[in-house]
A and B are shown apart, each in its own frame.
Chain A
Amino acid sequence: MNPFTYSSVTAVEDAVRDNASHEGAAYIGGGTNLLDLMKENVARPTHLVGLNKLPLTAIEPTPEGGLRLGALATNADTAWNEEVKRRYPLLNQAILAGASPQLRNMATNGGNLMQRTRCYYFYDTATPCNKREPGSGCSAIGGFNRIHAILGTSEQCIATHPSDMCVALAALAATVRVSGPSGERTIPFEDFHRLPGNTPERDNNLEPGELITGLDLPAKGFEKNFSYLKLRDRNSYAFALVSVAAALELDGNTITDARLALGGVAHKPWRDQEAENLLKGQPATPETFARAAAKVVEGAQGYGSNNFKIELARRAIVRALKQAAEGSQHASDVFLNSNP
């Protein structure tokens, strides 16, 4: 960890200004990922802008009938918020499927979007990594890539975005509110994170110095028919090998609206609107689900140790859609309770 300076700000404008006035500055919220990266010498900010005193912890209704999640509300407070639980149970489940209670108590909503991949090579400065050191090469391609991506990869990078929360946010079509040196703007969630392409060092489309101030959830929460299904190597405190956020709107047995997003498979939360379109207007049957699943994994590519993810993702999509249609998925503990 390199020496750095620190300041604590109380207004968004001050945060942006303070950040802009320090070359190599970084924002810090809960610090649950950034501090690890600094200790590993992966992130080397010269200055930290402490955000925790900003008035961005509220969770409140939007004029459009949705819900605004403050960027500094913790993941725990968000998951357990009464409105989130009632109107957006998919988000509640996705958040609770991630990390551990201690981490969720510290981690902020804005920080959740900003967390970086858990690729082994990205974290180990003894190995080449294009994301950490552009141009040095990707060690995961041809290396140990059990947790790596199968969709939207490039020859530069096959890392995944590790968040569970973001998978639900992608499915719910949230909007990211940001503030920066050139003012405020909003970014549709799907456009927030990037695919690696030739610039794997860039995880998202924030401009330099921009700060996330909040997340807007649209009015529609799919609170009746949803599922967040997470498959992993242990039942808690493990990143997804594959996760699926599925949300349906049903008229009888006919699907009138559908959302489908995956985690653990790509450099970003992977929402597939073509697959969603294959669901819409169709009966909620295993055959319909299988068609959507096949669409998602069409063109998926394994890299050796992660080949299994293609079939696992296909099966997980079908199961998640089935659970969503049945309205039977009420907890991420589908793998925890052996005796339901």
Chain B
Amino acid sequence: MSTTNYIGKPTSRVDGPAKVTGAATYAAEFQVPNMAYGWVVSSSIAKGRITKVHADEVLAIPGVLQVFSHENVPSLAWFDRNYKDDVAPGGSPFRPLHEDKIQFNQQPIALVVAETLELARYASAVLRIDYEEEKHETDIEAKRDEGFEPGTGKSGWMPPPPPRGNPDKAWAEAEHRIEHEYVHGAQHHNPMELYGATVEWRGDKKLTVYDKTQGVVNVQNYLTKIFGLSKDDCRVINQYMGGGFGSGLRPQYSVFLAVLASLELKRSVRVTLTRQQMFSFGHRPHTLQYVKLGTNPDGTLAALQHHALHETSQFEEYTENVVNWSGMLYQCENVKLGYQLAKLDVFTPQDMRAPGAATGSFALEVAMDEMAVAAGLDPIDFRIRNYAEQDQNAGKPFSSKRLRDCYHQGAAKFGWDQRNPEPRSMRKGNRLVGYGMAGGVWDATQKKAAAKATLTADGKLLVSSATADIGTGTYTIMTQIAAETLGLPLEAVTFKLGDTDMPEAPVQGGSWTAASVGTAVKNVCEALGEKLLKLAQKMEGSPLKGASLDEVEFVNGQIRLRQDPANAVVLRDVLQASGETKLETDSSAAPNMLKQANHSMHSHNAVFVEVEVDEEFGTVHVTRVLNAVAAGRILNPKTARSQVLGSIVWGISMALMEETVMDHQFGRYMNHNYSEYHIPVQADIHDMEVLFVEEEDDIVNPLGVKGVGEVGLLGVAAAITNAVYHATGKRVRELPIYLDKLL
């Protein structure tokens, strides 16, 4: 690395000013001429068929342009594979307006298009739909015995490893044993920005699609396959996102319907969902987990069993890694992991921040706390006694793992030594005080990604990649990496993203963007640097003649000899001398399989929580949280800290308030609004501290970065649950911990 060192320095968001001044334009805000407005009509039943759409009644209203439904939808691609997006799970993807069949409540069944938004909304409200209802099943409790092991699953999903040792016998013979069920209901991502798409009709089936998505390439692939468009005629753009959390990994039906209407009506169309409709698609699945743990007399784990059952739709097999982590986080020779799905009349669940791991770490880490209590051990001591030095699932060493330091440094900073291990022993005024801890493990992944870099004669560098910034800080860290690599001031570097005209990048998810796109940006800047060096060496009297790339460095807008920094050439002069107005390079980056194949690559964390409980009312206040994270190199401590703070808030939400409640009479989520689907407000959040444990790793990727988008969420809900136990002596095993569960 050169000495400029933007990497690792706290850097404010480069996109911040645009966002706070309103200069940032979001998908459903783009103004295009001659726009029509679509409003989605959602089904009011969970299962059955539509017998009649009374479109004629609303088409009679002046200004209503069309009512699209299965009755008049044009013939589109026939095969399932055309509807499979890049991150689709196994099964048969949902096709909006494809048929009369209702497969879940709030299913989009028609799109009313009108000259104004208000008219479209009114017409959709009076559109009569006749149904033939069938009996639905939306309750996973009714399907407890009908779980099945999924087939192929989606990309990134791994079936649980086969059992090791003799887990049943070892559990039966263990010194201390626990077994319990752990449950949480469905949760919806609920980003602030509603899903919406503005489709600009540019004539002759040429479209520019502004769509809220975590992956413009994924949306482009999806649309072109279904509607038979060429990629050149279907440009997808999304530069800003008001939150995604995984809900924008797969293309939403809003963009499908907007494109359908635009192509049919041959004009620009916008479709925005309502807040209620934000509860009509993917969600963190309602999950039932069963954990059995047993210990030896020395406090080591004798047996570990973890089984999960969660919902999926009737048409797709959504999978996430719920139980695998349990075979990896602790050393244990007798392990059995099970994972099953149950089909319900709901929409397919979808990845939601730390999918699977947020769920699995809740059950495992509460069970570990229960086990520590049963064995009479301090929960940190218990974890350290069972520390996994290698990944037993894969039989590979970790590329790096500083979890032990997360425990030690976190405990020291939190003041864990002030904890009296006895439940109900600590008080503040008339409140019970509890300390709890937990932790987790998440994947460090690199995907193939590409980027392009252009240096212009004025010394400005433009770098681009079709990735996304869902609020994580992508714009900022990519700017830092580019500025660092080519030794330019941050202000001289612009990073652009979210446009299918740019080099391809994967969807933003899995905490892999920093590693994947970051490496591509580094590579493309290095490639540009190499070109610059060659040009610099052609300059008359160049002090760099004969120098290899290793012998020079890019600092302060110059290329200079490492050994003799006075021998330097200004980058701007290089371009001018070459006679070019700009210098451009494309490059991509893919994981180095040779380096990675023999290692298990993961980030880890340990969370420490203080709660106060008003026992008479059962109200829980999370007064302090410390989250110690080991996630490789931290590119930008400021945006990384924000990521982890967001995770802590979400963890508090998961522990205390978040749940989408289904009324099984109707098979319908009933608290489908911000008023009744509770997420924390400022008044719920108190002290939060983030501690990044230093971790070097040259195996994960050349940047040594593991990503921090998800790891911070792990263990937060479990630590709160454990702290509530410590405060009250009451063990809650079903989230959220509503006050009535402690009464």
- Interface positions of A (Cβ within 8 A of B): 1-3, 39, 41, 118, 120-121, 123-127, 139, 142-144, 146-147, 231, 233-239, 241, 308, 311-312, 315-316, 319, 333, 335-336, 338-340
List 9 A-B residue pairs with CB atoms under 8 Å apart, sorted by A's residue number. Answer: A39-B121, A118-B675, A127-B666, A143-B663, A231-B617, A311-B743, A312-B739, A319-B616, A338-B686
Check if B85 is an interface residue, CB within 8 A of chain A. no
B142 part of interface (Cβ distance < 8 Å): no
Complexed CA–CA distance, A319 and B740 (Å): 17
Residues of A near B617 (CB, < 8 A) are 231, 312, 315-316, 319
Stretch at the interface among B507-515, B527-535, B676-684: B676-684
- Known pairs A118-B676, A124-B670, A144-B663; A236 contacts B683 (CB<8 A): yes
Known: A127-B666, A335-B621. A340 touches B429 (CB 8 A): yes
- Chain A positions within 8 Å of B657 at CB level: 233-234
Contact A338 B666 (CB under 8 A): no
> Which residues of chain A come closer than 8 Å to B676, judged between CB atoms?
118, 120, 147
Give per-residue flags for B591-631: 1 if the beta carbon is below 8 A from chain A beta carbons, else 0. Answer: 00000000000000000000010101111010100000000
Q: Quick one: CB contact mask for B665-708 with A, threshold 8 Å, 1 for yes?
A: 11010111101101111111010000000000000000000000
A235 near B683 with CB under 8 A, answer: yes
Lowest 3 A-B CB distances belong to which pairs? A126-B44, A308-B740, A235-B683
- Tell me if B18 counts as interface (CB < 8 A to partner A): no
Question: A139 near B118 (CB under 8 angstroms)?
Answer: no
CA distance A234 to B738 in the complex (A): 10
Question: Which B residue's beta carbon lies closest to that of A39?
Answer: B121
Residue ID in chain A nearest B686 by CB atoms: A338
Q: A41-B125, A235-B683 are in contact. Are A120 and B678 (CB under 8 A)?
A: no
Given contacts A235-B683, A316-B617, A338-B621, contact A143 B665 (CB under 8 A): yes
Check B73 for interface membership: any CB of A closer than 8 A.
no
- Complex Cα–Cα for A339 and B621 (A): 11
Contact B681 A2 (CB under 8 A): no
CA distance A173 to B618 in the complex (A): 31
The distance in angstroms between the C-alpha atoms of A123 and B672, with both chains bound, is 10
Question: Nearest B residue to A239 by beta-carbon distance?
Answer: B675
**CB-nearest residue of chain B to A306:** B740
The verdict on A336 contacting B743 (CB below 8 Å), with A139-B666, A144-B663, A315-B616 known, is no
Q: Are B681 and A144 in contact (CB under 8 A)?
A: no
> Closest residue of chain A to B429, judged by CB?
A340
Contact yes or no, B681 A235, CB < 8 A: yes
Task: Say yes or no for B186: interface residue by CB 8 A criterion.
Answer: no
Given A120-B676, A234-B678, are A1 and B684 neighbors across the interface (CB < 8 Å)? no
Cβ A234 vs Cβ B681 within 8 A: yes
Of residues 25 to 65 in B, which have CB atoms within 8 Å of A's CB atoms? 44-45
Residue on A nearest B610 in the bound complex, by CB: A338
**Residues A236 and B682 in contact in the complex (CB < 8 Å), given A231-B739, A319-B616:** yes
Query: How distant is the Cα of A238 from the Cα of B678 in the complex, in angstroms?
Result: 8
**B502 interface residue, CB < 8 Å from A?**
no
Contacts of B122 in A (CB 8 A): 1-3
Instruction: For B611, give the chain A residue with the smallest CB separation.
Output: A338
B661 at interface, CB cutoff 8 A: yes
Chain A residues positioned under 8 Å from B618 (CB to CB): 312
Q: Which of A2, A147, A234, A319 sits near B125, CB closer than 8 Å?
A: A2
Contacts A1-B121, A126-B668 hold; do A241 and B686 have CB atoms under 8 A apart? no
Contact residues of B with A, CB < 8 Å? 44-45, 105, 118, 121-122, 125-126, 276, 428-429, 612, 614, 616-619, 621, 623, 656-657, 661, 663, 665-666, 668, 670-673, 675-676, 678-684, 686, 738-740, 743
* Complex CA distance for A335 and B656, rounded to whole angstroms: 14
* B residues near A241, Cβ cutoff 8 Å: 739
Residue of B nearest to A235 (CB): B683
The answer, among B429, B663, B678, for a CB contact under 8 Å with A233, is B678
Report whether A335 and B614 are in contact in the complex, using a CB–CB cutoff of 8 Å: yes
Question: Which has the most chain A C-beta neighbours within 10 Å: B428, B675, B680?
Answer: B675
CB-CB < 8 A to A127: which residues of B? 663, 666, 668, 670
**Nearest A residue (CB) for B615:** A315
**Nearest chain-B residue to A44 (Cβ)?**
B125
Are the CB atoms of A236 and B125 closer together than 8 Å? Answer: no
Provide the residues of chain A in CB contact with B740, threshold 8 Å: 308, 312
Q: Which residues of chain A are within 8 angstroms of B616 by Cβ–Cβ distance?
A: 315, 319
Nearest chain B CB to A49 CB, angstrom units: 20
B623 nearest in chain A by CB position: A338
Of all chain B residues, the one with the shortest Cβ separation from A311 is: B743
Query: Which residue of A has the minimal Cβ distance to B740?
Result: A308
Q: Which residues of chain A are within 8 angstroms of B44 by Cβ–Cβ distance? A: 125-126
Q: Are A142 and B670 in contact (CB under 8 A)?
A: no
A125 to chain B, nearest CB (A): 8
Hey, which chain B residues are within 8 Å of A338, CB to CB?
612, 621, 623, 686
Given contacts A234-B681, A319-B617, 20 further A-B contacts (CB under 8 A): A2-B122, A118-B676, A123-B673, A124-B276, A126-B105, A127-B663, A127-B670, A144-B661, A236-B681, A236-B682, A237-B681, A238-B678, A308-B743, A312-B618, A316-B617, A319-B616, A335-B621, A338-B612, A338-B621, A339-B623
Asked if A233 and B738 sit within 8 Å, CB to CB, the answer is yes
Determine how close the nearest CB of chain B comes to the CB of A271; give it in whole angstroms.
22
Q: What are the residues of chain A within 8 A of B612 when measuring CB–CB?
A: 338
Q: Chain A residues near B621 (CB, 8 Å)?
A: 335, 338
In the assembled complex, the CB of B433 is this many whole angstroms from the nearest CB of chain A, namely 10
How many whole Å from A238's CB to the nearest CB in chain B?
6
Q: Which residues of B contact A235 (CB under 8 A)?
A: 681, 683-684
**Are B118 and A1 neighbours in the complex by a CB distance under 8 Å?**
yes
By a CB distance below 8 angstroms, the chain A residues around B663 are 120, 127, 139, 143-144
Find chain A residues with CB under 8 A from B656 CB. 234
Q: How far is the CB of B209 from chain A (nearest CB, A)?
A: 27
Cα A188 to Cα B44 in complex, Å, equals 42
Q: Which chain A positions have C-beta within 8 A of B619?
A: 231, 335
Given contacts A124-B670, A127-B668, A312 and B683 within 8 Å (CB-CB): no
- Bound: A241/B617 CA distance, A: 11
Q: Give Cα A124 to B105, complex, Å.
A: 13
A234: shortest Cβ distance to chain B, in Å?
5
A residues near B661, Cβ cutoff 8 Å:
144, 146
A234 to B665, Cβ gap below 8 A?
no
Residues of A within 8 A of B670 (CB): 120-121, 124, 127, 143-144
B431 nearest in chain A by CB position: A338
A142-B743 contact given A2-B125, A118-B675, A233-B738, CB 8 Å threshold: no
User: Which residues on the B side are within 8 Å of A233 (C-beta)?
Assistant: 657, 678, 738-739
- In the complex, chain B residues whose CB is within 8 Å of the CB of A41: 125
Which residues of B lie under 8 Å from residue A236 when comparing CB positions? 681-684
Cα distance, A20 to B258, chains bound together (Å): 43
A238 cross-chain contacts in B, Cβ below 8 A: 678
A120 to B662, CA, bound (A): 11
A123 to B275, CA, bound (A): 13
Chain B neighbourhood of A336, CB < 8 A: 683
Q: Which residue of B lies closest to A41 (CB)?
A: B125
In the bound complex, how far is the Cα of B126 from the Cα of A41, in angstroms?
9
Please give, as numbers and ranges, the residues of chain A lying within 8 Å of B678 by CB-CB distance: 233-234, 238
A121 to B617, CA, bound (A): 27
Could you say which residues of chain A place their CB within 8 Å of the CB of B45?
126
In the complex, chain B residues whose CB is within 8 Å of the CB of A234? 656-657, 678-681, 683-684
Question: In the complex, A125→B276 CA distance in Å?
Answer: 12
Q: Give chain B residues whose Cβ lies under 8 Å from the Cβ of A340.
A: 429
Q: Enumerate chain B residues within 8 angstroms of A2, measured Cβ to Cβ.
A: 122, 125-126
| Cα-based distance from A124 to B280 in the complex (angstroms) | 14
Q: How far is the CA of A311 from the CA of B618 in the complex (A)?
A: 11
Q: Kindly state the separation between the CA atoms of A319 and B430 in the bound complex, as whole angstroms.
A: 12
Rounded to whole angstroms, the CA-CA distance of A146 and B673 in the bound complex is 16
Given known A127-B666, A319-B616, contact A120–B429 (CB-CB < 8 A): no
Chain A: CB-nearest residue to B679: A234
**Chain B residues whose C-beta falls within 8 Å of the C-beta of A118 in the assembled complex:** 675-676
User: Which residues from chain A contact B668 at a C-beta distance below 8 Å?
Assistant: 124, 126-127
Contacts known (A120-B676, A236-B683, A315-B616); A1 close to B125, Cβ less than 8 A: yes
